[in-house]
Chains A and B, each alone.
Chain A
Amino acid sequence: MADVRELVDKVAADLSFAEVSQSPVDVGEMVVKVDREKYLAACRRLRDEFGFDYLSFVTCVDYPESLEIVAYAINLETQARVKVLVDLSKEEPEVDSLVEVWPTANWHEREAYDLFGVVFRGHPDLRRILLDEKFEGHPLRKDYGSNPLLKAYE
Protein backbone atom coordinates (compact mmCIF):
# COMPACT_ATOMS: atom_id res chain seq x y z
CA MET A 1 0.00 0.00 0.00
CA ALA A 2 1.37 3.34 -1.05
CA ASP A 3 2.33 5.84 1.64
CA VAL A 4 1.26 9.36 0.81
CA ARG A 5 3.28 11.29 3.41
CA GLU A 6 5.57 12.92 0.85
CA LEU A 7 2.71 13.65 -1.46
CA VAL A 8 0.86 15.42 1.33
CA ASP A 9 3.67 17.95 1.65
CA LYS A 10 3.83 18.53 -2.08
CA VAL A 11 0.11 19.03 -2.42
CA ALA A 12 0.03 21.28 0.64
CA ALA A 13 2.68 23.46 -0.96
CA ASP A 14 0.80 23.60 -4.24
CA LEU A 15 -2.72 24.05 -2.94
CA SER A 16 -2.09 26.77 -0.40
CA PHE A 17 -5.80 27.40 0.09
CA ALA A 18 -6.49 23.83 1.13
CA GLU A 19 -6.01 21.94 4.34
CA VAL A 20 -4.02 18.82 3.40
CA SER A 21 -3.36 15.92 5.72
CA GLN A 22 -2.91 12.20 5.84
CA SER A 23 -5.91 10.11 6.76
CA PRO A 24 -5.68 8.89 10.37
CA VAL A 25 -7.04 5.44 9.51
CA ASP A 26 -5.43 4.82 6.14
CA VAL A 27 -1.80 5.54 5.21
CA GLY A 28 -2.55 5.49 1.50
CA GLU A 29 -5.17 8.16 1.73
CA MET A 30 -4.67 11.91 1.56
CA VAL A 31 -7.36 14.23 2.85
CA VAL A 32 -7.81 17.60 1.18
CA LYS A 33 -10.22 20.02 2.79
CA VAL A 34 -11.20 22.99 0.68
CA ASP A 35 -13.69 25.81 0.60
CA ARG A 36 -16.71 25.56 -1.61
CA GLU A 37 -15.40 28.16 -4.04
CA LYS A 38 -12.03 26.47 -4.47
CA TYR A 39 -13.42 22.95 -4.76
CA LEU A 40 -13.51 22.72 -8.56
CA ALA A 41 -10.12 24.38 -8.95
CA ALA A 42 -8.56 22.05 -6.38
CA CYS A 43 -9.98 18.97 -8.08
CA ARG A 44 -8.78 20.13 -11.47
CA ARG A 45 -5.28 20.67 -10.11
CA LEU A 46 -5.30 17.30 -8.41
CA ARG A 47 -6.13 15.69 -11.71
CA ASP A 48 -3.79 17.68 -13.94
CA GLU A 49 -0.79 18.17 -11.65
CA PHE A 50 -0.91 15.15 -9.40
CA GLY A 51 -2.35 12.54 -11.76
CA PHE A 52 -5.52 11.75 -9.90
CA ASP A 53 -7.25 10.72 -13.11
CA TYR A 54 -9.68 8.23 -11.71
CA LEU A 55 -12.69 9.37 -9.70
CA SER A 56 -14.04 6.66 -7.49
CA PHE A 57 -17.16 8.34 -6.21
CA VAL A 58 -18.74 11.58 -5.05
CA THR A 59 -21.12 11.54 -2.17
CA CYS A 60 -22.44 13.59 0.68
CA VAL A 61 -22.63 13.18 4.44
CA ASP A 62 -25.27 14.98 6.46
CA TYR A 63 -23.60 16.24 9.67
CA PRO A 64 -25.65 18.09 12.28
CA GLU A 65 -24.20 21.49 11.33
CA SER A 66 -23.37 21.08 7.69
CA LEU A 67 -23.43 18.91 4.63
CA GLU A 68 -20.08 17.50 3.62
CA ILE A 69 -19.27 16.62 0.03
CA VAL A 70 -16.82 13.77 -0.31
CA ALA A 71 -15.03 13.19 -3.59
CA TYR A 72 -12.67 10.25 -3.76
CA ALA A 73 -10.05 10.03 -6.49
CA ILE A 74 -7.22 7.64 -7.28
CA ASN A 75 -3.91 8.08 -9.06
CA LEU A 76 -3.72 4.91 -11.13
CA GLU A 77 0.05 5.13 -11.47
CA THR A 78 1.20 5.70 -7.91
CA GLN A 79 -1.90 4.18 -6.32
CA ALA A 80 -2.21 7.20 -4.07
CA ARG A 81 -5.75 8.07 -3.08
CA VAL A 82 -7.21 11.43 -2.22
CA LYS A 83 -10.37 12.39 -0.42
CA VAL A 84 -11.58 15.90 -1.12
CA LEU A 85 -13.92 17.31 1.50
CA VAL A 86 -16.10 20.40 1.21
CA ASP A 87 -18.41 21.76 3.87
CA LEU A 88 -21.71 23.18 2.67
CA SER A 89 -24.18 25.11 4.70
CA LYS A 90 -27.58 23.53 5.00
CA GLU A 91 -29.27 26.72 3.96
CA GLU A 92 -27.51 26.87 0.65
CA PRO A 93 -26.38 23.39 -0.41
CA GLU A 94 -24.78 24.36 -3.69
CA VAL A 95 -21.42 23.38 -5.08
CA ASP A 96 -19.67 23.22 -8.44
CA SER A 97 -20.07 20.08 -10.45
CA LEU A 98 -17.07 17.90 -11.17
CA VAL A 99 -18.44 16.58 -14.46
CA GLU A 100 -16.01 18.59 -16.55
CA VAL A 101 -13.06 17.25 -14.58
CA TRP A 102 -14.21 13.64 -14.29
CA PRO A 103 -17.18 12.71 -16.51
CA THR A 104 -18.01 9.83 -14.21
CA ALA A 105 -19.11 12.32 -11.55
CA ASN A 106 -22.33 12.72 -13.51
CA TRP A 107 -24.37 9.98 -11.90
CA HIS A 108 -22.73 10.25 -8.49
CA GLU A 109 -23.78 13.88 -8.33
CA ARG A 110 -27.23 13.07 -9.55
CA GLU A 111 -27.47 10.59 -6.72
CA ALA A 112 -26.27 13.12 -4.17
CA TYR A 113 -28.78 15.60 -5.55
CA ASP A 114 -31.52 13.02 -5.36
CA LEU A 115 -30.85 11.79 -1.84
CA PHE A 116 -29.37 14.91 -0.18
CA GLY A 117 -30.68 17.79 -2.22
CA VAL A 118 -27.25 19.14 -3.01
CA VAL A 119 -27.37 21.28 -6.14
CA PHE A 120 -24.36 20.87 -8.41
CA ARG A 121 -23.74 24.01 -10.42
CA GLY A 122 -22.90 23.36 -14.04
CA HIS A 123 -24.10 19.77 -14.01
CA PRO A 124 -25.36 18.91 -17.50
CA ASP A 125 -28.31 16.80 -16.48
CA LEU A 126 -29.28 17.25 -12.84
CA ARG A 127 -32.33 15.03 -12.41
CA ARG A 128 -33.39 12.59 -9.76
CA ILE A 129 -31.83 9.22 -10.43
CA LEU A 130 -32.94 6.58 -7.97
CA LEU A 131 -36.22 8.05 -6.86
CA ASP A 132 -39.25 9.00 -8.87
CA GLU A 133 -39.35 12.43 -10.48
CA LYS A 134 -42.34 13.42 -8.37
CA PHE A 135 -40.77 12.33 -5.11
CA GLU A 136 -40.67 15.02 -2.44
CA GLY A 137 -37.79 15.51 -0.04
CA HIS A 138 -34.31 14.09 0.11
CA PRO A 139 -34.42 10.91 2.15
CA LEU A 140 -30.79 10.50 3.20
CA ARG A 141 -30.95 13.80 5.10
CA LYS A 142 -31.06 13.05 8.80
CA ASP A 143 -34.10 15.24 9.23
CA TYR A 144 -36.03 13.52 6.48
CA GLY A 145 -39.46 12.32 7.55
CA SER A 146 -39.92 10.40 10.72
CA ASN A 147 -41.46 7.03 10.50
CA PRO A 148 -43.50 6.47 13.70
CA LEU A 149 -42.73 2.76 13.50
CA LEU A 150 -39.02 3.44 13.50
CA LYS A 151 -39.46 5.88 16.41
CA ALA A 152 -41.19 3.16 18.38
CA TYR A 153 -38.39 0.74 17.55
CA GLU A 154 -35.81 3.12 18.88
Chain B
Amino acid sequence: MQAVLWSVLKLLIVLTFILLNAMLLIWLERKVSAWIQLRLGPMRVGRPQGWAQSIADVLKLLFKEDIVPSRVDKVLFVLGPIIAFMPALMVWAVIPFGPNFVSADLNIGVLYIAAIGSIGLMSIFTGGWGSNNKWSLISAMRSAAQLFSYEVPLVLALIGVVMLAGSLSLTDIIRAQQETAWYILYQPLGFLVFLIAGIAEVNRTPFDLSEAESELVAGWHVEYSGLRWAMYFLAEYGNLLALSALAATLFLGGWTAPFGLDFIPPFVWFLLKTYLFVFVAMWIRWTFPRVRIDQLMDLSWKFLIPVALLNIALTGIGITIFS
Protein backbone atom coordinates (compact mmCIF):
# COMPACT_ATOMS: atom_id res chain seq x y z
CA MET B 1 0.00 0.00 0.00
CA GLN B 2 2.73 2.35 1.00
CA ALA B 3 4.62 1.60 -2.19
CA VAL B 4 1.59 2.47 -4.27
CA LEU B 5 1.06 5.74 -2.42
CA TRP B 6 4.72 6.59 -2.83
CA SER B 7 4.64 6.07 -6.57
CA VAL B 8 1.44 8.12 -6.91
CA LEU B 9 3.09 10.87 -4.92
CA LYS B 10 6.14 10.68 -7.15
CA LEU B 11 3.96 10.95 -10.22
CA LEU B 12 2.19 13.99 -8.80
CA ILE B 13 5.47 15.66 -8.03
CA VAL B 14 6.70 14.99 -11.55
CA LEU B 15 3.46 16.31 -13.06
CA THR B 16 3.57 19.52 -11.06
CA PHE B 17 7.22 19.84 -11.89
CA ILE B 18 6.60 19.67 -15.63
CA LEU B 19 3.70 22.10 -15.66
CA LEU B 20 5.51 24.63 -13.54
CA ASN B 21 8.62 24.22 -15.61
CA ALA B 22 6.78 24.58 -18.88
CA MET B 23 5.44 27.88 -17.64
CA LEU B 24 8.84 28.87 -16.42
CA LEU B 25 10.27 27.99 -19.80
CA ILE B 26 7.79 30.22 -21.57
CA TRP B 27 8.87 33.07 -19.37
CA LEU B 28 12.50 32.14 -19.88
CA GLU B 29 12.08 32.01 -23.64
CA ARG B 30 10.69 35.51 -23.59
CA LYS B 31 13.50 36.75 -21.44
CA VAL B 32 16.22 35.00 -23.43
CA SER B 33 14.80 36.19 -26.74
CA ALA B 34 14.47 39.70 -25.34
CA TRP B 35 18.05 39.57 -24.17
CA ILE B 36 19.26 38.41 -27.57
CA GLN B 37 17.13 41.02 -29.33
CA LEU B 38 18.12 43.99 -27.17
CA ARG B 39 14.71 44.19 -25.56
CA LEU B 40 13.48 43.87 -22.01
CA GLY B 41 10.79 41.27 -22.43
CA PRO B 42 7.92 41.05 -19.93
CA MET B 43 8.46 43.51 -17.07
CA ARG B 44 5.06 44.50 -15.75
CA VAL B 45 3.39 41.40 -14.37
CA GLY B 46 5.28 40.47 -11.23
CA ARG B 47 8.43 42.06 -10.03
CA PRO B 48 11.28 41.57 -10.62
CA GLN B 49 11.49 40.83 -14.33
CA GLY B 50 7.82 40.06 -14.90
CA TRP B 51 8.06 36.57 -13.45
CA ALA B 52 4.28 36.18 -13.25
CA GLN B 53 3.68 36.81 -16.93
CA SER B 54 3.18 33.15 -17.81
CA ILE B 55 0.77 32.63 -14.96
CA ALA B 56 -1.26 35.59 -16.14
CA ASP B 57 -1.19 34.23 -19.69
CA VAL B 58 -2.34 30.78 -18.66
CA LEU B 59 -5.14 32.26 -16.59
CA LYS B 60 -6.24 34.39 -19.48
CA LEU B 61 -6.25 31.42 -21.81
CA LEU B 62 -8.22 29.37 -19.26
CA PHE B 63 -11.02 31.91 -19.23
CA LYS B 64 -11.23 32.30 -22.97
CA GLU B 65 -14.20 31.00 -24.89
CA ASP B 66 -13.74 27.44 -26.06
CA ILE B 67 -14.18 27.71 -29.81
CA VAL B 68 -14.56 24.65 -31.98
CA PRO B 69 -14.99 25.83 -35.59
CA SER B 70 -18.09 24.38 -37.18
CA ARG B 71 -16.47 22.55 -40.08
CA VAL B 72 -13.67 20.79 -38.26
CA ASP B 73 -13.54 17.09 -37.55
CA LYS B 74 -14.60 17.42 -33.92
CA VAL B 75 -13.14 14.20 -32.56
CA LEU B 76 -9.71 14.78 -34.03
CA PHE B 77 -9.81 18.47 -33.23
CA VAL B 78 -10.47 17.81 -29.56
CA LEU B 79 -8.08 14.89 -29.40
CA GLY B 80 -5.09 16.78 -30.84
CA PRO B 81 -4.11 18.89 -27.83
CA ILE B 82 -4.68 15.99 -25.45
CA ILE B 83 -2.35 13.74 -27.39
CA ALA B 84 0.13 16.58 -27.56
CA PHE B 85 0.57 16.61 -23.84
CA MET B 86 0.86 12.86 -23.42
CA PRO B 87 4.40 12.18 -24.66
CA ALA B 88 5.73 15.23 -22.85
CA LEU B 89 4.41 13.76 -19.60
CA MET B 90 5.20 10.13 -20.29
CA VAL B 91 8.87 10.66 -20.95
CA TRP B 92 9.29 11.89 -17.40
CA ALA B 93 8.33 8.52 -15.96
CA VAL B 94 11.80 7.14 -16.62
CA ILE B 95 14.00 10.19 -16.18
CA PRO B 96 15.96 10.11 -12.94
CA PHE B 97 15.98 13.35 -10.99
CA GLY B 98 18.36 12.02 -8.37
CA PRO B 99 20.02 8.82 -7.23
CA ASN B 100 16.77 7.26 -5.97
CA PHE B 101 14.33 9.67 -7.46
CA VAL B 102 12.76 8.18 -10.54
CA SER B 103 9.11 7.35 -11.08
CA ALA B 104 9.73 4.07 -12.85
CA ASP B 105 13.23 2.82 -13.44
CA LEU B 106 12.45 0.80 -16.56
CA ASN B 107 15.19 -1.48 -17.74
CA ILE B 108 14.31 -0.48 -21.31
CA GLY B 109 14.19 3.24 -20.57
CA VAL B 110 15.90 4.43 -23.76
CA LEU B 111 13.73 2.25 -25.94
CA TYR B 112 10.65 3.52 -24.12
CA ILE B 113 11.63 7.14 -24.76
CA ALA B 114 12.25 6.47 -28.43
CA ALA B 115 8.81 4.94 -28.68
CA ILE B 116 7.07 7.74 -26.82
CA GLY B 117 8.76 10.39 -28.92
CA SER B 118 6.88 9.30 -32.00
CA ILE B 119 3.52 10.00 -30.40
CA GLY B 120 4.20 13.73 -30.57
CA LEU B 121 3.76 13.49 -34.31
CA MET B 122 0.27 12.11 -33.87
CA SER B 123 -0.89 15.20 -32.03
CA ILE B 124 0.28 17.53 -34.78
CA PHE B 125 -1.17 15.31 -37.43
CA THR B 126 -4.58 14.92 -35.78
CA GLY B 127 -4.72 18.62 -34.99
CA GLY B 128 -3.62 19.64 -38.47
CA TRP B 129 -5.87 17.20 -40.29
CA GLY B 130 -8.84 17.72 -38.01
CA SER B 131 -8.73 21.51 -38.37
CA ASN B 132 -9.94 21.27 -41.96
CA ASN B 133 -7.76 24.17 -42.96
CA LYS B 134 -5.36 24.27 -45.86
CA TRP B 135 -2.53 25.75 -43.87
CA SER B 136 -2.98 23.14 -41.15
CA LEU B 137 -2.99 20.41 -43.72
CA ILE B 138 0.30 21.49 -45.25
CA SER B 139 1.71 21.78 -41.75
CA ALA B 140 0.52 18.28 -40.85
CA MET B 141 2.14 16.85 -43.95
CA ARG B 142 5.34 18.69 -43.24
CA SER B 143 5.53 17.54 -39.66
CA ALA B 144 4.85 13.94 -40.65
CA ALA B 145 7.72 14.01 -43.13
CA GLN B 146 9.94 15.83 -40.69
CA LEU B 147 9.38 13.65 -37.65
CA PHE B 148 9.69 10.41 -39.56
CA SER B 149 13.08 11.41 -40.86
CA TYR B 150 14.36 12.82 -37.61
CA GLU B 151 13.30 9.93 -35.44
CA VAL B 152 15.89 7.78 -37.19
CA PRO B 153 19.06 9.82 -36.50
CA LEU B 154 17.82 10.57 -32.99
CA VAL B 155 17.54 6.89 -32.11
CA LEU B 156 20.78 6.08 -33.91
CA ALA B 157 22.52 8.74 -31.82
CA LEU B 158 21.23 7.09 -28.66
CA ILE B 159 22.64 3.71 -29.66
CA GLY B 160 26.22 4.90 -29.14
CA VAL B 161 25.38 5.83 -25.57
CA VAL B 162 23.67 2.52 -24.96
CA MET B 163 26.66 0.64 -26.33
CA LEU B 164 29.01 2.43 -23.95
CA ALA B 165 26.82 1.96 -20.91
CA GLY B 166 25.76 -1.56 -21.80
CA SER B 167 22.26 -0.88 -20.53
CA LEU B 168 19.00 0.66 -21.63
CA SER B 169 18.12 1.90 -18.17
CA LEU B 170 18.69 5.59 -17.68
CA THR B 171 19.85 5.16 -14.10
CA ASP B 172 22.43 2.64 -15.25
CA ILE B 173 23.59 5.00 -17.96
CA ILE B 174 24.18 7.73 -15.37
CA ARG B 175 26.03 5.32 -13.11
CA ALA B 176 28.19 4.23 -16.03
CA GLN B 177 29.02 7.89 -16.69
CA GLN B 178 30.02 8.31 -13.03
CA GLU B 179 32.51 5.48 -13.42
CA THR B 180 34.09 6.86 -16.60
CA ALA B 181 33.23 10.38 -17.74
CA TRP B 182 30.32 12.26 -19.26
CA TYR B 183 29.40 10.72 -22.54
CA ILE B 184 29.58 14.02 -24.35
CA LEU B 185 33.34 13.47 -24.22
CA TYR B 186 33.13 9.97 -25.66
CA GLN B 187 30.31 10.73 -28.04
CA PRO B 188 30.80 14.22 -29.49
CA LEU B 189 29.42 13.11 -32.82
CA GLY B 190 26.52 11.40 -31.18
CA PHE B 191 25.77 14.53 -29.18
CA LEU B 192 25.87 16.69 -32.27
CA VAL B 193 23.42 14.45 -34.08
CA PHE B 194 21.26 14.28 -30.99
CA LEU B 195 21.25 18.08 -30.68
CA ILE B 196 20.22 18.68 -34.29
CA ALA B 197 17.73 15.85 -34.50
CA GLY B 198 16.36 16.72 -31.08
CA ILE B 199 15.68 20.33 -32.01
CA ALA B 200 13.99 19.12 -35.17
CA GLU B 201 12.00 16.64 -33.11
CA VAL B 202 10.57 19.34 -30.85
CA ASN B 203 9.85 21.64 -33.81
CA ARG B 204 11.95 24.61 -32.97
CA THR B 205 13.64 27.10 -35.30
CA PRO B 206 15.57 26.44 -37.54
CA PHE B 207 13.39 23.37 -37.96
CA ASP B 208 9.98 24.76 -36.99
CA LEU B 209 8.62 23.98 -40.43
CA SER B 210 5.27 22.75 -39.28
CA GLU B 211 4.65 25.99 -37.41
CA ALA B 212 6.53 28.41 -39.70
CA GLU B 213 4.51 31.51 -38.90
CA SER B 214 5.81 33.44 -41.88
CA GLU B 215 4.75 30.73 -44.32
CA LEU B 216 1.89 28.73 -42.81
CA VAL B 217 0.51 31.46 -40.53
CA ALA B 218 0.64 29.18 -37.47
CA GLY B 219 0.66 25.75 -39.00
CA TRP B 220 -1.33 23.03 -37.35
CA HIS B 221 -2.75 25.18 -34.55
CA VAL B 222 -4.08 27.92 -36.78
CA GLU B 223 -7.67 27.07 -35.81
CA TYR B 224 -6.99 26.56 -32.13
CA SER B 225 -7.59 29.11 -29.45
CA GLY B 226 -8.00 29.39 -25.70
CA LEU B 227 -7.26 26.39 -23.56
CA ARG B 228 -6.72 23.99 -26.44
CA TRP B 229 -4.11 26.23 -27.89
CA ALA B 230 -2.55 26.63 -24.46
CA MET B 231 -2.22 22.87 -24.22
CA TYR B 232 -0.34 22.76 -27.51
CA PHE B 233 1.82 25.58 -26.33
CA LEU B 234 2.59 24.03 -22.96
CA ALA B 235 3.22 20.69 -24.63
CA GLU B 236 5.78 22.31 -26.89
CA TYR B 237 7.72 23.46 -23.88
CA GLY B 238 7.09 20.20 -22.05
CA ASN B 239 8.68 18.44 -25.00
CA LEU B 240 11.61 20.80 -25.03
CA LEU B 241 12.10 20.20 -21.32
CA ALA B 242 11.90 16.44 -21.78
CA LEU B 243 14.42 16.55 -24.58
CA SER B 244 16.77 18.67 -22.50
CA ALA B 245 16.41 16.34 -19.54
CA LEU B 246 17.22 13.46 -21.82
CA ALA B 247 20.28 15.24 -23.16
CA ALA B 248 21.40 15.99 -19.62
CA THR B 249 20.89 12.38 -18.61
CA LEU B 250 22.49 10.71 -21.57
CA PHE B 251 25.34 13.03 -22.36
CA LEU B 252 25.94 15.31 -19.39
CA GLY B 253 25.96 12.77 -16.59
CA GLY B 254 22.44 13.42 -15.29
CA TRP B 255 22.46 14.31 -11.62
CA THR B 256 26.18 13.64 -11.24
CA ALA B 257 28.02 16.54 -9.66
CA PRO B 258 31.03 17.68 -11.69
CA PHE B 259 34.41 18.68 -10.23
CA GLY B 260 33.55 17.06 -6.89
CA LEU B 261 31.01 19.77 -6.04
CA ASP B 262 28.99 17.27 -4.03
CA PHE B 263 27.53 19.71 -1.52
CA ILE B 264 25.02 20.87 -4.15
CA PRO B 265 22.21 18.29 -4.22
CA PRO B 266 21.94 16.02 -7.30
CA PHE B 267 18.49 17.34 -8.09
CA VAL B 268 19.86 20.84 -8.58
CA TRP B 269 22.62 19.58 -10.83
CA PHE B 270 20.13 17.76 -12.94
CA LEU B 271 18.05 20.91 -13.34
CA LEU B 272 21.08 23.04 -14.10
CA LYS B 273 22.18 20.72 -16.90
CA THR B 274 18.69 20.50 -18.26
CA TYR B 275 18.40 24.27 -18.37
CA LEU B 276 21.77 24.60 -19.96
CA PHE B 277 20.49 22.57 -22.88
CA VAL B 278 17.24 24.54 -22.90
CA PHE B 279 19.23 27.73 -23.12
CA VAL B 280 21.24 26.41 -26.04
CA ALA B 281 18.02 25.49 -27.84
CA MET B 282 16.64 29.00 -27.27
CA TRP B 283 19.86 30.59 -28.35
CA ILE B 284 19.72 28.64 -31.61
CA ARG B 285 16.10 29.51 -32.11
CA TRP B 286 16.59 33.23 -31.89
CA THR B 287 19.69 33.31 -34.04
CA PHE B 288 19.01 31.18 -37.08
CA PRO B 289 16.70 31.55 -40.05
CA ARG B 290 14.44 28.64 -40.92
CA VAL B 291 15.52 25.91 -43.33
CA ARG B 292 13.27 24.66 -46.08
CA ILE B 293 11.48 21.36 -46.02
CA ASP B 294 13.57 19.68 -48.73
CA GLN B 295 16.79 20.97 -47.18
CA LEU B 296 15.64 19.54 -43.89
CA MET B 297 15.19 16.12 -45.47
CA ASP B 298 18.57 16.34 -47.14
CA LEU B 299 20.17 17.19 -43.84
CA SER B 300 18.58 14.23 -42.14
CA TRP B 301 19.08 11.50 -44.72
CA LYS B 302 22.29 12.64 -46.32
CA PHE B 303 24.16 14.00 -43.35
CA LEU B 304 22.81 13.07 -39.94
CA ILE B 305 22.09 9.41 -40.56
CA PRO B 306 25.50 8.65 -42.13
CA VAL B 307 27.18 10.53 -39.29
CA ALA B 308 25.14 8.64 -36.71
CA LEU B 309 26.03 5.34 -38.34
CA LEU B 310 29.68 6.34 -38.42
CA ASN B 311 29.41 7.17 -34.75
CA ILE B 312 28.06 3.70 -33.99
CA ALA B 313 30.87 2.11 -35.93
CA LEU B 314 33.51 4.23 -34.19
CA THR B 315 32.00 3.44 -30.80
CA GLY B 316 32.09 -0.26 -31.60
CA ILE B 317 35.73 -0.07 -32.65
CA GLY B 318 36.59 1.96 -29.58
CA ILE B 319 34.93 -0.51 -27.23
CA THR B 320 36.72 -3.45 -28.86
CA ILE B 321 40.10 -1.79 -28.63
CA PHE B 322 39.92 -0.41 -25.11
CA SER B 323 38.21 -3.24 -23.29
Asked if chains A and B are in direct contact (CB within 8 A), the reply is no
Chain A residues close to B by CB (< 8 Å): none
